[in-house]
Copies of this chain bind each other. A is one copy, B any other.
Amino acid sequence: MNGAESLVRTLVGGGVDVCFANPGTSEMHFVAALDRVEGMRCVLGLFEGVVTGAADGYARMSEKPAATLLHLGPGLANGLANIHNANKASSPMINIVGDHATYHRKYDAPLTSDIEGLARPSSHWVKTSPDAKSIAADGAAAIAAARTLPGQIATLILPADTAWNDGASPAPVPAVAGPKPVSGEAITEAARALRSGEPCLILLTGRALRQDGLELAGKIAAKTGARLMAQGSNARTQRGRGRVFLERVPYVVDQATKVLAGFKHIILVGTKMPVAFFAYPNKPSLLAPADAQGHLLARLDEDMIGALGALSEEVDALRTPVPVTNTPAPSKASGRITPEALGASLAALLPENAIVVDEAVTTGRGFFAPTCAAAPHDWLSNMGGSIGLGMPLATGAAVACPDRKVITLEGDGSAMYTLQALWTQAREGLDVTTLLFSNRSYQILKGELANVGAGNPGRKALDMLDLDNPDLDFVALAKGMGVPGARVTDMEAFNRRLAEGIATPGPYLVEIVC
């Protein structure tokens, strides 16, 4: 058994049974080993940003790491933006990066680069496996590193000769600690704040945004009069009809400071005190009032559910009814396409148990509120702010959950970074409907230009923000990658095409000109 096979067997033995890949020469032994090892599903992406974003989506939905297979430093580099996003989302991921044979590196062949240097900024764990006998144990250590809570990025560099020389037996994965228990003091402090009679916010993210966590948090809020909110972006939120109603901190600084005004206490559940996405001249970086006190209930790697349980007991909320959303089911909108109309129709048509991937940036900013009344679903956001995550994330989520419909809310600007994800969706027959909001500009930047006080843009500045001239034709682009689609320019057509996408298994794209 060569090193590559010992690694693949270690991965499968350690429960890592999906590999998103864009391999090259130095990874050929790994690829060949796939034929000899049962139990590893390998999914090809035509660009590495698709590969790493899909691994993120897979991890968020399956709660375990996928492997990625990348080709030397430049292959890793192409995947780094979505590794950055995965890192910020605390998604576990195991990147396997091929390298030149150990003895070949000194000759500085064209693809030679400092792979460890490239990996380090977004990886918690980086190792170059020194020889074929070590690769199984290194692979097992990478799995353990990725699984370390709250979820980490492990990057294992695999020189070609460590893949083709004789390897050792597959290695068992070292034990990984479960979530750390939260101290009694943290519970007591939070309870004291909740009982203070002063305005109090419970701010959640991470594992606390699943149904169990939200039900506990909802009871606490209902019992104590505290307000419940998620941070601006979250890896995965369970919401919709019959679930706990939840706001989130707005992106726009002025809106965020307004929403947070008046709070004296913020109970932090996996979060830190809310921070502006960007700095703007004469606007604050910290969004909460200066006199608001933060109370850390649980960190991301701590037992958030246990802490919420203990806190609900402490404030005597265990028997408080869960405050669920019971807004009437929304109705489809008609007529002209507006963000509000789209939000209403999306809420009305969203199928039960859908996975919504949100990278709609400007057009979709208002979709969160109306969809609280939609059928129960999971909502996945971009936590690292590097656009180009949406379609890859949807791809990975669909691989993890073949029985659930995935709906991607995608802006046209964001879509163009990693459009190749559509091809993988077509090849794998993934059940993803992409709603492509085509406002033909980096619309968010037009707002940001004003927000940063850069004045009214002239022709040259506008040319950097507009995506027209020529217009992108997303139906043609989707067709080019084997995905059927349609363009809509009014709400009736939108409703019809979205329903069609939902009813049809496999990938489908609706371009919404708005």
Q: Could you list which residues of chain A lie within 8 angstroms of chain B, going by C-beta atoms? A: 21, 23-26, 28-29, 31-32, 34-35, 42, 44, 46-47, 49, 73-75, 77-78, 80-81, 84-85, 88, 100-101, 103-104, 107-111, 113-114, 117-118, 120-122, 160-161, 164, 233, 272, 275-279, 281, 285-286, 383-386, 388, 413, 416-417, 419-420, 423, 426-427, 444-445, 448-449, 451-455, 457-461, 463-465, 467, 469-477, 479-482
Contact = CB atoms under 8 A, between A and B. Distances in A.
A485 B407 CA distance: 32
Contact of A482 (B108, B426, B457, B470): B470
A29 to B, nearest CB: 5
A424 to B, nearest CB: 10
A118 B81 CA distance: 11
B281 A164 contact: yes
A479 to B, nearest CB: 5
Q: From A26, A383, A445, name the one whose CB has the most chain B CB atoms within 10 angstroms.
A: A445
A403 B465 CA distance: 28
20 contacts: A25-B278, A32-B454, A34-B460, A34-B461, A35-B457, A74-B81, A74-B84, A80-B80, A84-B113, A104-B279, A109-B277, A110-B385, A111-B385, A111-B386, A113-B121, A117-B117, A419-B419, A427-B469, A427-B470, A474-B480
Contacts of A451: 25
A454 B101 CA distance: 15
A276 B74 contact: no
A84 B118 CA distance: 12
Given A104-B276, A426-B470, A122 B113 contact: yes
Contacts of A120: 114, 117
Given A32-B461, A461-B35, A479 B476 contact: yes
Nearest to A416: B46
Across the A-B interface, the 4 shortest Cβ-Cβ residue pairs: A470-B482, A74-B386, A35-B458, A477-B480
A74 B114 CA distance: 18
Q: From A74, A113, A118, A427, name the one whose CB has the most chain B CB atoms within 10 angstroms.
A: A74
Contacts of A26: 278
Given A31-B449, A35-B459, A74-B384, 7 more contacts: A21-B464, A25-B451, A28-B448, A74-B84, A111-B384, A416-B420, A472-B481
Contacts of A467: 46
A386 B108 CA distance: 14
Given A427-B469, A476-B479, A480-B472, A28 B454 contact: yes
A384 B469 CA distance: 33
Given A161-B279, A463-B44, A476-B476, A121 B117 contact: yes
Give how many copies assemble into the complex: 2
Contact of A423 (B31, B160, B417, B470): B470
B416 A31 contact: no
A34 to B, nearest CB: 4
Nearest to A446: B28
A449 B28 contact: yes
A383 to B, nearest CB: 6
Contacts of A81: 74-75, 77-78
A278 B160 contact: yes
A452 B160 contact: yes
A482 B440 CA distance: 13
B28 A452 contact: yes
Given A73-B121, A385-B111, A476-B480, A455 B32 contact: yes
Contacts of A474: 480
Nearest to A427: B469
A423 B472 contact: yes
Q: From A103, A383, A444, A470, name the one whose CB has the most chain B CB atoms within 10 angstroms.
A: A470
A401 to B, nearest CB: 22
A104 B28 CA distance: 44
A445 B44 CA distance: 14
B77 A463 contact: no
Contacts of A21: 464
A473 B455 CA distance: 43
A100 to B, nearest CB: 6
B74 A77 contact: no
Contacts of A88: 110
Contacts of A459: 35
A35 B460 contact: yes
A514 B476 CA distance: 23
Contacts of A281: 161, 164
Contacts of A77: 77, 80-81, 84, 386
A292 to B, nearest CB: 15
Nearest to A452: B28
